[in-house]
Amino acid sequence: MKKTIETTSPEETFEVGRQLGLSAKPGELYTLDGDLGVGKTVFTKGMAEGLGIMEHVNSPTFTIVQVYESGRLPFYHFDVYRIGDIEEMDEIGYEDYFFGDGVCIVEWAELISELLPSTAKKITIEKDLEKGFDYRRIIFEL
Ligand code: ADP
Ligand code: MG
């Protein structure tokens, strides 16, 4: 299924993420691609809220993965932007997360494409400056 949602504010993107978090199921892995500053982390924060996570969610830039266990399901937030070598994924034991019973979201998933299972659900966020500075197109290929 391919679906596109357009937003014109960070709050709206957060809400799209929140709705996904409300309906997310155990074992799901979502990939999240798009340029720097497009809204991947805003989306992820919404998703965390939808999963019932009350903690503050920030991009795990220096740790690759941040684990949240206070919600309805475990939530594993990856940001692989600064990964130097794919081996780093093995070192953190990514398979336990990718093939576990929680929900994974992977910012910059295209950088680790060879590790992604074929069941991954793909989300891409794009800007379109002709439509305004705060316009975003969120494309789901689920
Ligand atoms: P990324 O994680 O993709 O690098 P962030 O989520 O950290 O991006 O930052 C997105 C930035 O874009 C924020 O400063 C946010 O306020 C701004 N922004 C403006 N319009 C939107 C929108 N429609 N959706 C999401 N973020 C938006
Ligand atoms: Mg980010």
CB-based burial label for 34 (10 Å; 0-12, 13-18, 19+) = buried
Q: What percentage of residues in the chain have a pLDDT greater than 90?
A: 94
CA of 46 to the centre of ligand 1 (A): 12
Which pLDDT belongs to residue 63? 87
Predicted local confidence at residue 61, as pLDDT: 65
Give the ligand 1 atom nearest the CA of 13.
24
Q: Tell me how far the alpha carbon of residue 55 lies from the centroid of ligand 2, in angstroms.
A: 17
pLDDT the model gives residue 1 = 87
Mutational pocket test of ligand 1: of 35, 42, 123, the residue with most ligand atoms within 8 Å of the beta carbon: 42
pTM over 0.95: yes
* pLDDT at 142 (0 to 100): 86
- SS3 per-residue string spanning 41-98: HHHHHHHHHHCCCCCCCCCCCCCCEEEECCCCCCEEEEECCCCCCCHHHHHCCHHHHH
pLDDT of residue 89: 97
Query: What is the mean pLDDT, run by run of 10 residues, along the chain of 142 residues?
Result: 96 98 98 97 98 90 89 97 94 97 97 97 98 98 91
Q: Give the number of whichever ligand sits closest to the CA of residue 33.
A: 1
Distance of CA 72 to the CA centre of its chain: 17
Grouping H, G, I as helix, E, B as strand and the rest as coil, residue 40 is helix
Report pLDDT for 65. Answer: 95
Atom of ligand 1 at shortest range from CA of 8: 23
For ligand 1, atom 18, name the residue with the nearest CA. 10
